[in-house]
Amino acid sequence: MGNRSGIVVTGASGFIGSHLLPQLAAAFPGRPVLSLGGPSSKSLRRVDLADQRNLTAALDGFEFDTVLHLAAESSVAGAIRAPDVVWRANALGAITLARVISDLSPEALVVHAGSAECYGESFLTGKPLDETACLKPSNPYARSKVAAELALTDILPSTARVVLLRLFNHTGRGQDERFVVPSFAAQIARAEKLERDVIEVGDLSAQRDFGHVADAAAAMVAVVAAASTLPQLSTFNVCTEVARPVEDVLNVLLAAARRPLTAKVDPARMRPSAIKVAAGSAAALRAATGWSPKRTFEETILEVLAYWRQAV
């Protein structure tokens, strides 16, 4: 990729995007970045990725050879409630993006921020999965992300270089309360402020790999830096390689709470998953780029609590 060629970031106003943009600026100071946000973005260029005319207009006049595609509807629960919204954003958005890239920059590097949810029922083995594991998505969100991967690989020309990232759970400052770590952290912060004694939780037994969002962003930067050494199509897991019970998250947060708190199971939050353990291997990404996570589990979780103490 050219030293001064432009980088397009979709979903730049989102959770990962807010952490990625500063890293891109630091890693590639001579390269212009076009940040495409969603309809709620105020400081970034607004664009509907599912609208080809709108997307083409947003890219008009900007020379680029790298696209980091982060834009997505990312809530599993939200996808179950409104699958049409998720399919439009994730699948149709990828189709439209691939068409536009094919027209404007057919040799571009395209990095897709996908999800380990794509593996779905393959996690039932209980063993860490690598990128060769079968894709068996088990919910509308996961199916839409598989569709996005297929759309990019089918529609983009053979001259493009495509990197499919499958991100495991990641958290950090700015993640909203639909997700488990900020849900617990926000409740604790409010309990401290309002002198409450109870927080509500759901299923604590599922084991998940919890990484830091800044490490996930760093994986994307590492891929861009190593692009010239990668094949035309690469797939990489992004994970810490350690799966922990959700209860571990709760225990770290309760230990740091400024008042004694009791966790109460709320039946409305109980969404027991058939996937008891979701673990992965990041060996391929490590070998290709040298990437490895830098933040510990504890500092990752406590950073979210610090954020919510300021936010509530």
pLDDT tens per residue, range 28-66 = 999 999 999 854 444 467 789 999 999 999 999 999 999
pTM listed for this prediction: 0.94
Residues 6+ apart with CB under 8 A from 269: 200, 201, 202, 203
Find the mean pLDDT for residues 129-145. Answer: 97
66: β partners: 7, 109
Pairing of strands 109-115, 161-167: parallel
SS in 3 state form for 105-136? CCCCEEEEEEEHHHHEHHHHHCCCECCCCCCE
Q: What's the residue count for the chain?
A: 312
Q: For the domain made up of 180-206+243-278+299-311, give the CATH fold.
A: UDP-galactose 4-epimerase; domain 1 (3.90.25)
Ramachandran sector of residue 51 (left: φ over 0; alpha: ψ -120 to 50; beta: rest):
beta
167-179, pLDDT tens digit by residue? 999 999 999 999 9
Cα–Cα distances in Å, from 70 out to 37, 57, 73, 220?
A: 10, 19, 10, 10
Query: What does the alpha-carbon distance between residue 167 and residue 15 come to, in Å, rounded to a whole number?
Result: 13
95, amino acid identity:
I
211: β partners: 170
Architecture of the 6-169+211-241+279-295 domain: 3-Layer(aba) Sandwich (3.40)
Alpha-carbon 31 to chain mean position: 23
Alpha-carbon 272 to chain mean position: 22
Give the start-to-end residue ranges of the domains of the chain. Answer: 6-169+211-241+279-295, 180-206+243-278+299-311
Find the mean pLDDT for residues 230-234. Answer: 98
Residues 6+ apart with CB under 8 A from 267: none
Ramachandran sector of residue 290 (left: φ over 0; alpha: ψ -120 to 50; beta: rest):
left
82-124, pLDDT tens digit by residue? 999 999 999 999 999 999 999 999 999 999 999 999 999 999 9
140, amino acid identity:
P
| Cβ 17 vs Cβ 212: under 8 Å | no
Looking at residue 43, its pLDDT comes to 47
Least confident range from 38-47, 78-87, 229-238, 256-265: namely 38-47
Q: Which segments of 38-92 are extended strands (E)?
A: 45-46, 64-69
Query: What does the alpha-carbon distance between residue 9 and residue 246 come to, in Å, rounded to a whole number?
Result: 31
pLDDT band at 73 (very low <50, low <70, confident <90, very high): very high
Average pLDDT along the chain: 95
172-222, pLDDT tens digit by residue? 999 999 999 999 999 999 999 999 999 999 999 999 999 999 999 999 999
